[in-house]
Amino acid sequence: MEMILKTKSVSEELGVNPTTVQRWVRHFNMDLKKNDHGHYLFTEHDINELKEIKMQLDSGLLIGDIQLSQKEKPAVKKQLAAVPEGIEEKFENLLSRIDSLEKKLEEKADSVVSYQLLQHAGEMEEMVKKLAAIEARLEDAEVTLLKMPVKQERIIHTEKQRKNWFVSLFTL
């Protein structure tokens, strides 16, 4: 049975935005099946064609210069024949700029997350230092308390209070 994926899964596999995959499908007039909700369903052949498109774009080609398999090429030429002269180049330039902006946006998001992680790591390091200082002060306080002389009266008084409290439980 042939593997069939949706746009999101294909976009994750290619490392591009789902809207980019949809744009490529429309631009190259790819003949794809759709599910009941109108979502594209990609076969392994379709995914390989998208990988080829991405590879050619990554190598610096404009979207109009990309070569598809012979099966797909005539449909693309027929579609482009109806487009007025010069518009195609502007459209390709616009799509290229959108792809570039998407990449920059992803890079910026990654750098922001990295910066935030570094900030949090620094804050946690500070908290660990403060906690260590508090523990040291607590240990010093315990040592000081242990060295203090214990007054006998205080112990006797405390024992009487406990005894009185215990007796009060059984009396009305």
The answer for residues whose C-beta is within 8 angstroms of residue 96's C-beta and 6 or more apart is: 57, 62, 63
Q: Report the pLDDT value the prediction gives residue 73, as an integer from 0 to 100.
A: 42
pLDDT, greater one: 168 or 39: 39
pLDDT at 149 over 50: yes
Domain segments of the chain as ranges: 7-82, 114-170
The DSSP bridge partners found for residue 40 are: 34
Q: What is the mean pLDDT of residues 61-79?
A: 61
pLDDT more than 90, % of the chain: 34
Please give the pLDDT value at position 7. 92
Confidence of residue 14 (pLDDT cuts 50, 70, 90): very high
Is the pLDDT at 3 greater than 60? The verdict is yes
Tell me the per-residue pLDDT of 88-107, one tens digit each, with 9 for 90 and over: 788 888 888 998 898 898 88
**Would you state the pLDDT for residue 60?**
84
Q: Which residues pair with 41 in a beta bridge?
A: 33
For residue 90, the model assigns a pLDDT of 84
Mean pLDDT over all residues of the chain? 82
With a CB cutoff of 8 Å and minimum separation 6, the contacts of 4 are 41, 42, 43
Cα distance between residue 61 and residue 133, in whole Å: 60
* Strand bridging mode 40-41 / 33-34: antiparallel
- pTM equals 0.41
Rounded Cα–Cα distance for residues 95 and 20 (Å)? 9
Q: Which tens digits make up the pLDDT trace of 77-92?
A: 445 455 567 787 888 8
pLDDT of residue 67: 74
CATH architecture of the domain 7-82 equals: Orthogonal Bundle (1.10)
Confidence category of residue 153, pLDDT binned at 50, 70, 90? low
Which of 136, 26, 12, 156 has the alpha carbon at shortest distance from 91?
26
